[in-house]
């Protein structure tokens, strides 16, 4: 799905299952009535003539109140398309958005809320429909989502009954409408009851009891407690415990690192930016961003907290997310677009002497001055490195956008999204890596707050990374704070989970983040390479199954 990362935050996909198939007009009428009674967004439903799907389009700056007239609102609207995964046996179908959420998505308990997107799809064999919706959880809580969907289905059922009454035959002109309207209330109640009874099934990762299974028996117990017969690693459907255990082993052995996400206040970022600009004027055409200013502060702070890593490596890498809105490779992306056009992976190498000097100057300067004012050389080095990367035709940015532009021209962008790194904010995002044993020192920065923590997961065709949203301000509007992601190298099981607990991992479960995929050529190759490491285990597993069947056949 498209992400309006600059102003809105994350979306979480969830579904409601209900019996019957309400016609498009009834769904449209129900949506309009629900929006009137429960203001969410200006939106309209459209039907895709190709596949018959229903699409909710919305625009917060719509110029027309007519929900069927999208022509005047197209400049301020975003499309949200969803597909349903294939059914696995008799289980409820999974819901996919931009990429696979593990089984069903988890709808977090957070305050606020706005409906971001919805679609209705049907399973002819089951005679049921799945209402899939996406929620911007900055401003839409679980209870509100439930109430709104309840209201939508209720009003759609009433509208459907009224439409049936209007199209009744003239044989009973008076009785038919009355009977249909009389049946509207039970129909609405049934639809609403189905909505209320549907489970907002949380994924395996939203459990309050998090312990890594060490054996098949522990994995069975873990599955029984947290996921029933579901497992986040559905590679071997024959034995969920085996599959889950293999997934955990592959995760620990193959994943790059463990991440914790921190948010630095936008006001502090602007202070750093101003201090950097005053301390180190840049040549014409170059500019300081709060992004780069925060990078300098964090690099020097991390070095001061744990200099051994930088001394061992001779420096530290900085990976920065750069906002490329405004057009590149033929793409014209307006500032108010909901498309996340940022690209991560611009790596700037900061030599150890530069970091040491910045840390020393920061320690000697006033606490509120920040490293930026104390180290113009570091700021200039970072900015120059970013400029060089952006100007390199064969660099990461240009190569990735060349690939994405080709996908856009081929019409593939409805299936894949260029959505890498953390969500964009008005202040810009920074991704830190190659830093160890120093995340505990982040809270010493003014106003820094822990947001979330997770590991980089494996997927069948792309990597995963947790993406955290800025919490809403006091007035209910999304904040524009910078989000920092610090990576840790691989640890053994005990050390990894000890680090999570020390970082306050339980807080993640009260403020869960959603997940987005990394999609670019290198990630696909890397994921395939990591999956190759699981082949020996899979071959052994299949040989064991084959041997068991052979023994069973011999005994028979």
pLDDT tens-place string over residues 440-488: 334 444 455 444 333 333 322 222 222 233 333 444 444 434 444 443 3
**CA–CA distance from 154 to each of 41, 118, 129, 179 (Å)?**
18, 16, 15, 18
Please tell me whether residue 121 adopts helix, strand or coil conformation. Answer: strand
Report pLDDT for 430: 33
Is a pLDDT exceeding 70 seen at residue 246? no
Query: CA-to-CA distance for 509 and 108, rounded, in angstroms?
Result: 9
| Between 11 and 363, residue with greater pLDDT | 363
DSSP tag of 530:
H
Please tell me whether residue 435 adopts helix, strand or coil conformation. Answer: coil
**Average pLDDT, stretch 163-186?**
58
> In degrees rounded to 5, what are phi and psi of residue 393?
-60, -25
Is a pLDDT exceeding 50 seen at residue 64? no
> In 167-237, where does DSSP find H-type helix?
175-197, 216-226
Q: Report CA 319 to chain centroid distance, whole Å.
A: 19
Report pLDDT for 30: 77
Report pLDDT for 535: 61
Nearest to 161 by CA among 182, 192, 191: 182
Query: CA-to-CA distance for 330 and 199, rounded, in angstroms?
Result: 44
Strands 514-518 and 463-467: antiparallel
Confidence of residue 24 (pLDDT cuts 50, 70, 90): low
Highest mean pLDDT among 215-224, 241-250, 352-361: 352-361
Confidence of residue 36 (pLDDT cuts 50, 70, 90): low
Highest mean pLDDT among 14-18, 200-204, 342-346, 459-463: 342-346
**Average pLDDT, stretch 320-344?**
39
Query: CA-to-CA distance for 182 and 192, rounded, in angstroms?
Result: 16
Helix crossing, 352-364 with 376-390: angle to 10°?
Answer: 140
Report pLDDT for 67: 34
506 Cβ neighbours under 8 A, 6+ residues apart: 208
Exposed/middle/buried for residue 220 (C-beta within 10 Å: 0-12, 13-18, 19+): middle
pLDDT in tens, 405-420: 544 455 443 333 332 2
Number of H helices, E strands in the chain: 16, 16
Query: CA-to-CA distance for 355 and 361, rounded, in angstroms?
Result: 10
Q: Which residues pair with 15 in a beta bridge?
A: 132
**Average pLDDT, stretch 365-383?**
59
Report pLDDT for 5: 21
Instruction: Check: CB of residue 450 under 8 Å from CB of residue 260.
Output: yes
**Average pLDDT, stretch 291-311?**
64
58 Cβ neighbours under 8 A, 6+ residues apart: 41, 42, 43, 44, 77, 78, 80, 115, 116, 117
Report pLDDT for 360: 77
Q: Is the dihedral of CA 144, 150, 153, 154 positive or negative?
A: negative
pLDDT in tens, 350-361: 788 888 887 777
Report pLDDT for 172: 58
Report pLDDT for 154: 79
Highest mean pLDDT among 263-277, 427-441, 487-501: 263-277
Report pLDDT for 304: 67
**Average pLDDT, stretch 368-372?**
46
| Between 391 and 114, residue with greater pLDDT | 391
| Between 135 and 268, residue with greater pLDDT | 268
Confidence of residue 40 (pLDDT cuts 50, 70, 90): very low
The HSE-up count of residue 484 (CA atoms within 13 Å, CB side) is 30
Query: CA-to-CA distance for 240 and 233, rounded, in angstroms?
Result: 9
**Average pLDDT, stretch 21-31?**
68
Q: Which residues pair with 430 in a beta bridge?
A: 320, 484
| Between 78 and 437, residue with greater pLDDT | 78
Exposed/middle/buried for residue 97 (C-beta within 10 Å: 0-12, 13-18, 19+): buried
Query: CA-to-CA distance for 116 and 98, rounded, in angstroms?
Result: 14
Instruction: Check: CB of residue 96 under 8 Å from CB of residue 84.
Output: yes
How many percent of the chain have pLDDT more than 70?
Answer: 12
Please tell me whether residue 118 adopts helix, strand or coil conformation. Answer: strand
Q: Which residues pair with 323 in a beta bridge?
A: none
Is a pLDDT exceeding 60 seen at residue 47? no
Q: What is the DSSP string of 227-238?
A: TTT--S-TT-TT
**Average pLDDT, stretch 69-94?**
30
Report pLDDT for 309: 64
Which two tokens mark 311?
Answer: 């001394």
Confidence of residue 554 (pLDDT cuts 50, 70, 90): confident
Q: Which residues pair with 464 in a beta bridge?
A: 517
Q: Is the dihedral of CA 7, 422, 368, 443 positive or negative?
A: positive
| Between 285 and 161, residue with greater pLDDT | 161
> In 375-520, where does DSSP find H-type helix?
376-390, 396-409, 493-502, 506-510
Question: How high is the mean pLDDT of the chain?
Answer: 47
Nearest to 248 by CA among 218, 220, 214: 214
Instruction: Check: CB of residue 459 under 8 Å from CB of residue 233.
Output: no
How many percent of the chain have pLDDT more than 90?
Answer: 0
Confidence of residue 310 (pLDDT cuts 50, 70, 90): confident
| Between 299 and 518, residue with greater pLDDT | 299
Which two tokens mark 159?
Answer: 């509208």
Q: Is the dihedral of CA 305, 311, 315, 320 positive or negative?
A: negative
514 Cβ neighbours under 8 A, 6+ residues apart: 10, 11, 12, 105, 108, 137, 466, 467, 469
């Amino acid at each position: 799905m498209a992400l309006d990362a600059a102003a809105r935050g994350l979306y979480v996909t969830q579904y409601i299952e209900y019996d019957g198939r309400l016609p498009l007009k009834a769904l449209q009428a129900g949506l309009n009535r629900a929006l009137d009674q429960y203001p969410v967004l200006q939106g309209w439903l459209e039907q895709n003539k190709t596949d018959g799907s229903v699409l909710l389009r919305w625009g917060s700056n719509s110029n027309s109140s007519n929900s069927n007239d999208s022509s005047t609102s197209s400049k301020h609207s975003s499309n949200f398309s969803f597909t349903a995964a294939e059914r696995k046996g008799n289980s409820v179908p999974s819901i996919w958005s931009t990429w696979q959420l593990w089984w069903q998505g988890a709808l977090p308990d957070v305050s606020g809320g706005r409906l971001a997107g919805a679609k209705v799809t049907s399973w002819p064999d089951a005679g049921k429909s799945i209402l899939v919706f996406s929620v911007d959880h900055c401003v839409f809580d679980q209870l509100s989502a439930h109430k709104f969907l309840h209201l939508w289905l209720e009003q759609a059922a009433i509208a459907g009954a009224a439409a049936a009454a209007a199209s009744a035959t003239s044989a009973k002109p008076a009785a038919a409408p009355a009977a249909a309207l009389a049946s509207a209330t039970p129909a609405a109640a049934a639809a609403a009851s189905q909505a209320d009874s549907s489970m907002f099934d949380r994924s395996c990762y939203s459990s309050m009891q998090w312990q890594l299974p060490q054996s098949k028996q522990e994995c069975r117990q873990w599955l029984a407690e947290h996921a029933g017969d579901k497992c986040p690693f559905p590679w071997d459907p024959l034995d969920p415990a085996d599959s889950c255990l293999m997934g955990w082993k592959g995760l620990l052995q193959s994943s790059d690192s463990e991440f914790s996400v921190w948010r630095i206040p936008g006001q502090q970022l602007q202070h750093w930016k101003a201090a950097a600009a005053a301390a180190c004027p840049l040549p014409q055409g170059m500019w300081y961003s709060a992004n780069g200013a925060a990078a300098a502060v964090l690099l020097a702070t991390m070095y001061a907290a744990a200099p051994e890593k930088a001394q061992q490596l001779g420096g530290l890498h900085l990976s920065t997310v750069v906002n490329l809105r405004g057009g590149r490779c033929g793409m014209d992306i307006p500032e108010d677009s909901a498309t996340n056009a940022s690209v991560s992976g611009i790596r700037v190498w900061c030599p150890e002497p530069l970091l040491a000097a910045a840390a020393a100057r920061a320690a000697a300067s006033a606490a509120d001055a920040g490293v930026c004012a104390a180290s113009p050389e570091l700021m200039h080095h970072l900015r120059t490195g970013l400029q060089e990367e952006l100007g390199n035709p064969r660099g990461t940015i240009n190569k990735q956008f060349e690939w994405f532009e080709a996908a856009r021209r081929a019409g593939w962008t409805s299936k894949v999204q260029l959505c890498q790194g953390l969500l964009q904010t008005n202040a810009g995002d920074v991704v830190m890596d190659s830093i160890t044993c120093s995340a505990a020192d982040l809270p010493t920065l003014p106003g820094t707050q822990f947001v979330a923590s997770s590991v980089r997961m494996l997927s069948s065709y792309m990597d995963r990374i947790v993406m955290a949203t800025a919490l809403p301000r006091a007035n209910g509007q999304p904040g524009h704070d910078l989000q920092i992601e610090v990576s840790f190298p691989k640890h053994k099981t005990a050390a990894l989970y000890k680090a999570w607990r020390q970082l306050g991992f339980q807080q993640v479960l009260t403020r869960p983040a959603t997940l987005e995929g990394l999609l670019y050529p290198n990630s696909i190759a890397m994921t395939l390479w990591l999956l190759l490491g699981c082949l020996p285990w899979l071959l052994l597993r299949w040989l064991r199954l084959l041997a068991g069947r052979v023994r069973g056949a011999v005994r028979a």
